[in-house]
A and B are shown apart, each in its own frame.
Chain A
């Protein structure tokens, strides 16, 4: 069958097998090992943007979606790797629990969240998803299940979290949910005039639980980087509402590919202006439901079709704190000048990174922006890569479809330790994706 990531580029033919029990994973992995097949990778809900979940053979884990245990007194949940974040929210919000970290879509599996070591709007305080993992079980190349945690088989744990499925296939994980009184978020939105003001506000509000900025990447000059900065806190119990109201499944969908010229600099500019001006006051407050607050795009199914049949790539990079305003302004200026900028981009202040070998976050600022793919895009992105590298930054593997091996190896200095762990467990003999081959792993 034809497979692609969320960006719909690249697309490849892949032999897929579905796993609904742990044994299915073990037998698929053993089969790959006996066949000397080193192009085998697990795939959850296919929300990584590029080629991380693509290989000649893919193991689909979506049906490995059983909960194994939940401890009501501690909030510790143990579940199979194919359980989706949607499932966790639907089961546990009504009982007063929420995810410790959530990315911008709820349509990812727990296995995928660990493999990409996803981060959320609370990274500056709470770290990334794997920082909340107590332990996990992974099927390694021999087909055996190995347990690992920050203390048990530590190297395997550090390589697996953020390891893009390249150490083995995660089977289950245990992690701690956080207690909430309500499914609503007290949201404060700040309207800023430019990047400097946005960054100053992030600094000023570094104790806010959640923070993120939607940034207009088509305006330049004194309004370069004008944003809507949103802060959020879990709301206290409300008297007059359904406190633990769940999100309704979305009915809106983009049923087919949009013409690829639908999103051009005129339509996007109009959209960005309207979006920015949606908020009139400098500072506004409202009570927002968790779904629109955390997952604004989940309300439109297949929104990836908006970019037309050639697909798109999401360029997400991080610059270390030292790069400061200057580094971010330099990249942003280049994007604005190129007029390639798309819908509002997302800017976020990261806290300290963790010790995982390939995890993306580091103390500093990250910007994510979608680019429609055309013939000249990749040459342009190579130029952006150079600026990012010059400032000591890097790109997010879960979004990447095109960076070079040299860029990767320079910006992820622990790649050799990562590779050593893979070799120790024989993972390199089985688990490889289009991405890992491209990056020279």
Chain B
């Protein structure tokens, strides 16, 4: 049976790789993203690769007042959703965030508030339909605040805690809430970084996401070794941690 799948932030590299996997499984896809031209190209690609349907709609997550209409139009098209993947995000310039409240707040809007707003609407639909998977890409950066990118970390951490609560609430309704925490991924978002051995390809992350959703997981560190790295990071005593250059 083909599944009804909504992807928000469909032009992100990890989302694109995930879309290909779901397309090969002949699912029905609904893609939301900012750039219409790119969405059209991703949708045609998905169709050629086997997607039963690949609809798309241009949509800016920072237009909060459009959220309700867009989610309603998705549920008008699909009676129920089997999977939603929220993948949009930006990597803030930490230095700029320290200098400007406007920049800092904007980053929170993009990386946290918009996601939480969409989740609020989606959660009610999923609770009512009593099935399905809500998967959200956060980050290992949300596990502990570090001086190099704590605005990003705090935004992602906010989403992670929101997801914990949501998981707790939707568990009786049989709805999976998956928090996906990738480590370093080689995407356009991280184009300026020097890549080392810890870096993963979006295709690897996408495979892990599909598997994580299939296996009804709660939290997914990906690639897997980040679970151990973050276990250590979380457990360094604060009096030591505060002196580290991380």
Stretch of A40-48, A65-73, A213-221, A301-309 with 4 or more beta carbons under 8 angstroms from chain B: A65-73
B41-55 interface bits toward A, Cβ cutoff 8 Å, 1 = contact, 0 = none? 110110011100000
- CB contacts under 8 Å to B, within A58-86, are 66-70, 77, 79
B48 touches A70 (CB 8 A): yes
B contact residues around A68 at 8 Å (CB): 41, 44-45, 48
Q: Is B188 an interface residue (CB 8 A)?
A: yes
Q: Is A91 an interface residue (CB 8 A)?
A: yes
B38 touches A67 (CB 8 A): no
Number of interface residues of A (CB under 8 A): 11
B contact residues around A67 at 8 Å (CB): 44-45, 48-49
Q: Give 5 new A-B contacts, CB below 8 A, not counting A66-B45, A68-B41, A70-B48.
A: A20-B188, A67-B45, A67-B48, A91-B48, A91-B49
Rounded to whole Å, the gap between the CB of B233 and the closest CB of chain A is 30
CA distance A70 to B50 in the complex (A): 10
Q: Chain B residue with minimal CB distance to A90?
A: B24
CA distance A66 to B50 in the complex (A): 13
CA distance A181 to B113 in the complex (A): 53
CA distance A20 to B44 in the complex (A): 15
B188 touches A66 (CB 8 A): no
A21 touches B45 (CB 8 A): no
Can you offer 11 A-B residue contacts whose CB atoms are under 8 A? A20-B188, A21-B37, A21-B38, A67-B44, A67-B49, A68-B41, A68-B44, A77-B48, A79-B48, A91-B24, A91-B50
A contact residues around B38 at 8 Å (CB): 21
B contact residues around A21 at 8 Å (CB): 37-38, 41
- CB contacts under 8 Å to A, within B190-237, are 191
Interface SS majority for chain B = helix
B contact residues around A70 at 8 Å (CB): 48
Q: Chain B residue with minimal CB distance to A22?
A: B41
- CB contacts under 8 Å to A, within B1-46, are 24, 37-38, 41-42, 44-45
Rounded to whole Å, the gap between the CB of A25 and the closest CB of chain B is 13
CA distance A68 to B38 in the complex (A): 12
Residue numbers of A with Cβ under 8 A of B are 18, 20-21, 66-70, 77, 79, 91
A69 touches B48 (CB 8 A): yes
CA distance A67 to B44 in the complex (A): 7
Rounded to whole Å, the gap between the CB of A26 and the closest CB of chain B is 13
CA distance A91 to B23 in the complex (A): 11
CA distance A33 to B239 in the complex (A): 55
CA distance A21 to B188 in the complex (A): 12
B contact residues around A66 at 8 Å (CB): 41-42, 44-45
Rounded to whole Å, the gap between the CB of B54 and the closest CB of chain A is 11
CA distance A66 to B54 in the complex (A): 14
Residue among A77, A79, A91 with the highest chain B CB neighbour number at 10 A: A91
CA distance A67 to B191 in the complex (A): 24
Residue among A67, A68, A70, A77 with the highest chain B CB neighbour number at 10 A: A67
Rounded to whole Å, the gap between the CB of A109 and the closest CB of chain B is 15
A contact residues around B41 at 8 Å (CB): 21, 66, 68
B contact residues around A91 at 8 Å (CB): 24, 48-50
CA distance A68 to B42 in the complex (A): 9
A contact residues around B191 at 8 Å (CB): 18
Rounded to whole Å, the gap between the CB of B146 and the closest CB of chain A is 28
Q: Chain A residue with minimal CB distance to B44?
A: A68
A contact residues around B24 at 8 Å (CB): 91
Q: Chain B residue with minimal CB distance to A95?
A: B50
B44 touches A69 (CB 8 A): yes
CA distance A350 to B49 in the complex (A): 34
B contact residues around A79 at 8 Å (CB): 48
A contact residues around B49 at 8 Å (CB): 67, 91
CA distance A67 to B37 in the complex (A): 14
CA distance A79 to B41 in the complex (A): 10
A contact residues around B50 at 8 Å (CB): 91
A contact residues around B37 at 8 Å (CB): 21
CA distance A386 to B210 in the complex (A): 58
Rounded to whole Å, the gap between the CB of A71 and the closest CB of chain B is 10
CA distance A20 to B186 in the complex (A): 13
Rounded to whole Å, the gap between the CB of B50 and the closest CB of chain A is 7
CA distance A21 to B11 in the complex (A): 11
Rounded to whole Å, the gap between the CB of B176 and the closest CB of chain A is 29
Rounded to whole Å, the gap between the CB of A226 and the closest CB of chain B is 44
Q: Chain A residue with minimal CB distance to B202?
A: A63
Q: Chain B residue with minimal CB distance to A23?
A: B37
B contact residues around A77 at 8 Å (CB): 48
B contact residues around A20 at 8 Å (CB): 188
A contact residues around B188 at 8 Å (CB): 20
CA distance A20 to B191 in the complex (A): 12
CA distance A77 to B44 in the complex (A): 12
Rounded to whole Å, the gap between the CB of A66 and the closest CB of chain B is 4
Rounded to whole Å, the gap between the CB of B205 and the closest CB of chain A is 15
